[in-house]
Amino acid sequence: MTRITARRPALFWAGFSLTIVLAAFLIVPALTSMLAGLTVNYFRGVSSGLTLKWVAEVLTLYTDTIWLSLGIAITTLIATLVIGLPAAWALVRRPSRWTRLLEEFITLPIAVPGLAIALSLILVYGGVGSLRTSWVFIAIGHTLFTLPFMVRSVVANLHAIDARMLEEGAASLGASVFTRFITVILPNAKPGILAGSLMVFTLSIGEFNLTWMLHTPLTKTLPVGLVDAYASMRLEVASAYTLVFFVMIIPLLVAIQWAGAKASPALSR
Amino acid sequence: MAAHLLKHIRSDILLITPAALFVLAFFALPMAQLVLVGASGDSGWLAYTSVLTNPRHREVMIATLLLSLAVTLTTLILATAAALFLGRSRFPGRSILIAMLTFPLAFPGVVVGFMVIILAGRQGLIGKVTDAAGMDKLVFAYSMGGLFLGYLYFSLPRVLLTVMSAVETIDPSLGEAARSLGAKPHHLLRDVMLPALRPAMIAAGAIAFATSMGAFGTAFTLATDIDVLPMLIYTEFTLQANFAAAGALSIILGIVTWVALFIARQLGGDGVAAAG
């Protein structure tokens, strides 16, 4: 390892410069856009003054997209918890060829582009009752796409805490399978459940590939609104909307890092 | 004992049934239907060969493959170089640099598209700089070039993280031993580092490739007339109402991305194409 005080070779500076350029490529547009959302006139630059009027305009124009996205994200989270937690436990309890296949099956929806999944959902369920015009249709798509993330996070956690051993202890005391699941397994898998939940929530809020096909004019989510603003609003409004999105998503990202480190301490540095 | 085992298996099945039924009803059945719809057009099952026989479909397929390969290779080269540097050097500000490089990890494709507009759009930074430097104002966001930049933006943080954690698992004494035996830095790279990193690079590259093939949000934000496969499927479905062509192309695309991610997972990668 190179020491800080040592004279650094040319190779170090080459790597350093490349890394700085890459970091700038990623971070400069994000910062520029945040600033543009707070600037009176982006074309004239920051010297035209800072303002919150674009953010206010976004909040009056697009508030319903923010609430709908939050509602869908909460529904998706509940759905992935209700069907995902028992599934994760079943996959860990008795690993076999069949559970491997089942895990592969549940994971399939993230290997296929959202556009294709959305088309197939419309073809089969588009005519069923009022599902097509309901936000529930979008929540179904999101559950399909986020379920694997919940299941994997909890499965990894259950493996790490050796849940099967825990269960045997509880079984020897005479508790039934479902009592053991609720009272022993779930409390011990909390870090994995938390990490999975944050992931599911964040992915649902940002999901566009499925949502664009599944949405209707009355069920516009935040990313659908973003695309609308990118296409038809001035750059300041589009930037302010993106800023609102960042403000929502950044605390979630920080929490994911923190929960991930808690769920698998061995992997964190 | 047998009855006991049976009871166990029964409760396992009960536990997994809700999830399995959900995926069956809202993924497996609709996908099967999509396969049939793909064959319901004038050309029947031959619709599945349209990426070879239909000149327009073939052209778009080749363009999408080339774009995805270009993104994958560029990302791998840049991210591996940065990962080797970050994984083996310690200096003040390193963790801030890593935080900056991984910050865009959860940006949806549409936001990535907007980042490209900020960089290379009509009022973009690159345009401003080239204009100020007295050159032609450079604007390329709304084309294949913009899409390339967008997928690079999307894939860099992911590939970097994967390769960096692989770099950190390489035993440093391996490099020191090679150096003390007189190995030059590029020999060290070729004979020690790259072979050790290959699984991580293939896994991360496969994810970048699958995302670039199937992502829709970034392309949709930049322009609806960029000729990539997801946009072709979208226009066939919504504008032409050609459900058979859209269905067949979707299935083909799904198979390509699934195979790429399957390879990634076999090599211990994450196997997840995040929302693009």
Nearest chain A alpha carbon to B32: A120
Q: CA dist A129 to A125, A136, A238, B29, Å?
A: 9, 12, 35, 18
- Please report the domains of chain A, with CATH numbers, ordered by start residue: 29-263 (1.10.3720.10)
- Classify domain B56-266 at the CATH class level: mainly alpha
Q: In a mutagenesis test of the A interface, which of B89, B105, B152 is the best target, namely the one with the most A β-carbons within 10 Å?
A: B89
Please indicate whether, in this complex, the C-beta atoms of B90 and A2 are within 8 angstroms of each other. Answer: yes
Q: Which of B19, B185, B215 sits opposite A106 (nearest CB)?
A: B19
Tokens of B187: 């020999």
Taking only residues 38 to 67 of chain B, the set having a beta carbon closer than 8 angstroms to any beta carbon of chain A reads none
Name, in order, each residue with C-beta under 8 angstroms of A253's C-beta and a sequence gap of 6 or more: A202, B103, B105, B106
CA-CA distance, B84 to B243, in Å (whole number)?
47
Give B55→chain A minimum CA distance, Å. Answer: 22
Contact, B75 vs B159, CB < 8 A? yes
Beta-carbon-side half-sphere exposure of residue B77 (alpha carbons within 13 Å) = 5
Q: CA dist B21 to A103, B12, B13, B122, B240, Å?
A: 13, 14, 11, 49, 34
Name the residue ranges covered by the structural domains of chain B: 56-266
| Location of structure tokens 């459900």 | B243
Q: Which of B26, B107, B221 sits opposite A121 (nearest CB)?
A: B26
Nearest chain B alpha carbon to A153: B270
Nearest chain B alpha carbon to A35: B118
Sequence letter at residue B240: Q
- B134 inside 8 A of chain A by CB: no
- B226 inside 8 A of chain A by CB: no
Nearest chain B alpha carbon to A234: B123
Please indicate whether, in this complex, the C-beta atoms of B8 and A108 are within 8 angstroms of each other. Answer: no
CA-CA distance, B48 to B38, in Å (whole number)?
7
* pLDDT digits (tens), chain A, 269 positions: 444 445 678 888 999 999 999 999 999 999 999 999 999 998 888 888 899 999 999 999 999 999 999 999 999 999 999 999 999 999 998 888 888 888 889 989 988 889 999 999 999 999 888 899 999 999 999 999 999 999 999 998 998 888 888 888 877 777 787 888 888 888 989 999 999 999 999 999 999 999 999 999 999 999 999 999 999 999 999 999 999 999 998 888 888 778 777 765 544 33
* pLDDT digits (tens), chain B, 276 positions: 566 666 667 777 888 899 999 999 999 999 999 999 999 988 889 889 888 899 999 999 999 999 999 999 999 999 999 999 998 888 898 989 998 898 888 799 999 999 999 999 988 999 989 989 888 889 999 999 999 999 999 999 999 999 998 888 887 787 778 878 888 878 888 888 888 899 899 989 998 999 999 989 999 999 878 889 999 999 999 888 889 999 999 999 999 999 998 888 787 655 454 444
Give A209→chain B minimum CA distance, Å. Answer: 6
Residue (of B208, B218, B224) closest to B261 by Cα position: B208
DSSP A61-120: HHHHHHHHHHHHHHHHHHHHHHHHHHHHHHHHHS--HHHHHHHHHHHGGGTS-HHHHHHH
Please indicate whether, in this complex, the C-beta atoms of A107 and B217 are within 8 angstroms of each other. Answer: no
CA-CA distance, A90 to B34, in Å (whole number)?
30
CA-CA distance, A103 to A150, in Å (whole number)?
12
Contact, A92 vs A158, CB < 8 A? yes
Please indicate whether, in this complex, the C-beta atoms of A249 and B106 are within 8 angstroms of each other. Answer: yes
CA-CA distance, A39 to A47, in Å (whole number)?
9
Residue (of A98, A24, A70, A38) closest to A235 by Cα position: A38
Full-model pTM:
0.89
- B262 inside 8 A of chain A by CB: yes
Q: Which of B26, B104, B257 sits opposite A111 (nearest CB)?
A: B257
